[in-house]
Structure 1
Amino acid sequence: MVGTYRELLDVYMVANYLNKTPLYEVNPMENKYFVPNENLYLGIKVMQNIDSVKDHLIKRDFFERCRQFLITSCIQIKKRYDFENLLYSNIKMLQKENIKKHTTLLPLMKVVPRILDSENIELLQKIDDQWRKLSSFENSSEMSNNIDEFYFQLSNKKDFNDEFLFVDLCNFVFQILALPHSSAACERIFSKINLIKTKSRNRLITDSINGLILTSQLIQMEGNCVRFQPNKKNLNLIEFLISLRKYLVF
């Protein structure tokens, strides 16, 4: 979100102001730092077509409406995200392309005391040692650039003694990535639960609800239920669960 917020500000505010001012202190409504209308960057297609508009009043109105939309977007983002929070600025170091830029994870570990006890020096050192080892890990370039996929793949890497190389580091990263960055994700889940637990289905147990939500997510990844094609693994799992029914006591 930090990157998105900065990109929106770059469209209509002067770069000098943004470069010299901490992001949390930037005022999206400070008009003395607005770029002129003709310098608003609205994309190639707009730039190619705007010159064909001869009426200057229409052009000015168009630019002002675009600027106002961007201002409103930035104001709403700033209301919802605490850019002064050190977690937002430090979490970027976990990205694959930033691994070699940071020799220690201590700045990040300090801002999550509920995840890592600052007095557990042994665990802190293990995580930091594995982080430093990661910068010279030969196979990292072949792994996914997606942050959660990258650390999942990394968590399965073993040494010659069949021991996991980065187990403590990956466990720490997974806990960081699991932190909710807004309430929107939680609200979507609760909305799904309300749709599932109707009056006629209000006795569903938690496991059943979890299964329905996960099924919905799996189908959504394929686009829709029409395009979804169960694979052999899905079918084998269903057959296995059906075979367990005879052992269940109701």
Structure 2
Amino acid sequence: MDDKISPTGKLADASKIGLLHEQIKRLLGIFLKRFVKTSVIVAHTDVTQVPFDVVYHFLPDDKLVVGLPCRGYIADHQDEIGVETEKKLYRTARNFYLKIVSKIIDKFPFSDTTLQDIAFINPRMKTKIVSDSVTKLATRFPQAIGCESTSELLDQFTEYQLLSPDDLPTFDQDISSFWGEMAEVDDIFNDKKRFNILSNLAKAFLVLPNSNADCERAFSIIKKDIHRIQI
């Protein structure tokens, strides 16, 4: 079956597991910016540590994100709405954002060290990931590299981190293709691939599903089959 192409021209089914930790932080930042002052958010390197529930960190009512249609309606019906109703609207919106952000921080895996370490497969994160991330993954999931040496894995990852973007395969959102090309890079000093262990580790995590959509689709098919059998 051919890969689906999204409206942006990207592969819809391309693995994004290496982007997951970055994306959940981005999502949290998006919600924070709707009701918290930007200066407060950027003052914290860890977005989960932003003191979002402090009153004087809130955006004023006229800057709170409630949507342009809502703003337009308020402006056009100011006399009908009244000051108190308008203030109640802003309080309700702000309380909604507070609950959403609290839920995201409580439920999302921001502190999951394995998820943080898997981010090494994202080429944009290569200089931001500590070197022992790959060895921790290999130790926890030894089947990912088989009998290969973790010290050699660390050497390959360190060498990968030191390479300039010009010396690496082109990365255009498709992480799977990037590591497929990395696996084929020759080592000019040895008769083997230069990043064979590192690329094997990356590919082991690239097979992880991006969502539970495929599982849900399978269960749906099974339920339909069971229903037909019962009939």
State the shift of 1:47 in Å.
Answer: 10
Checking the alignment, whether the CA contact within 8 Å between 2:120 and 2:126 is kept in structure 1 is: yes
- The alignment partner of 2:31 has SS state of helix
1:69-108 superposed matches below 5 A:
69-101=96-128, 104-107=130-133
Q: Distance in 2 between matches of 1:29 and 1:141?
A: 44
Q: Which residue of 1 aligns with 2:184?
A: 156
Structure 2 residue matching 1:142: 3-state secondary structure: coil
In 2: Cα distance, 1:154 partner to 1:148 partner: 10
Query: Could you say which residue in structure 2 is the equivalent of 1:142?
Result: 170
Give the C-alpha shift of residue 4 in structure 1: 1.4
Distance 1:61 1:89, change over 3 A: farther
**Distance in structure 2 (CA, Å) of the matches to 1:150 and 1:66:** 42
Cα-to-partner distance string for 1:144-192 (whole Å, 9 max, x where unaligned): 33333322232233345663221211122233445578xxx34x33322
RMSD: 4.0
Cα distance, 1:124–1:22 mapped onto 2, change above 3 Å: same
Residue 4 of structure 1, aligned match among 13, 27, 32: 27
The answer for the alignment partner of 1:123 in structure 2 is 149
Q: Per the alignment, do residues 48 and 136 of structure 1 end up closer, same or farther by CA in structure 2, a change over 3 Å counting?
A: farther
Larger radius of gyration: 1
**Structure whose residues are more often helix by fraction:** 1
Q: Structure 1 pair 31/143, CA: closer, same or farther in 2 (3 Å)?
A: same
Gaps of 5+ in 1: 203-250
- Is contact 2:52–2:98 with CA below 8 Å preserved after alignment? yes
The reply to whether residue 192 of structure 1 matches residue 200 of structure 2 is: no
* Local SS of the residue matching 2:34: helix
Q: How far, CA to CA, are the matches of 1:115 and 1:195 in structure 2?
A: 31
Give the fraction of aligned pairs with identical amino acids, expressed as a percent.
16
Note the residue ranges of structure 2 that are not aligned, 5 or more in a row. Answer: 1-23
Normalising to structure 2: TM-score of the pair? 0.61
TM-score by length of 1: 0.57
SS of equivalent residue, structure 1 residue 37: coil
Q: Which amino acid is 2:132 matched to?
A: L
How many pairs were matched up? 194
In 1: Cα distance, 2:53 partner to 2:105 partner: 12
The 1:60/1:110 distance shift into structure 2, 3 A limit, reads: same
> Are 2:69 and 1:40 aligned?
no
Bigger relative contact order, structure 1 or 2, given CA contacts below 8 A and separation 6+? Answer: 2
Q: Which residue identity lines up with residue 4 of structure 1 in the other structure?
A: L
- 2:195 alignment partner, one of 166, 175, 179: 166
Q: 1:191 to 1:136 in 2, by over 3 A?
A: closer
